[in-house]
Amino acid sequence: MKTQTVKTYWAKIFIAGPIDQIKQVVREYCLEGACVTVTPTTYIYAMGEEEGVEIGFINYPRFPSTQLDLTDRAMLLGYLLMNACHQGSFTVITPSDTHFVSRRNDTAK
């Protein structure tokens, strides 16, 4: 039996949209050699709500990575999902940073 240990870090994408469409984009993305989790979630905000997902990346000991690489991969998938699912924004969080990406004109700076 073999045990491998790596530094713990992760990245998560938060995006709204139809889960079946999101999962299809994620499947295509993962063909390039990724493995992620897709967890359905509901976003509730002032005057509304919508369905979406939380997508998780971890530093998997079998295929170790850096935090920067995990974040870059999450950002790339976030852009792919935003475009494919016709969303206005997505958010990527890591242990140290939160990245909000929006193509809306009314987003506060």
Identify which of 47, 53, 48 has the alpha carbon closest to the alpha carbon of residue 14: 53
**Which residues, listed in sequence order, are joined to residue 38 by a DSSP beta bridge?**
55
**Domain extent listing, the chain:** 12-101
3-class secondary structure, 80: helix
Mean pLDDT, rounded, of the chain: 95
CB 51 within 8 A of CB 40: yes
Distance CA 25, CA 22 (A): 5
At the topology level, CATH places domain 12-101 in Alpha-Beta Plaits (3.30.70)
In which band, very low, low, confident or very high, does the pLDDT at 107 lie, cut at 50, 70 and 90? low
Q: How many residues does the chain have?
A: 109
- Residues 49-96 have pLDDT tens digits of 999 999 999 999 988 999 999 999 999 999 999 999 999 999 999 999
3-class secondary structure, 50: strand
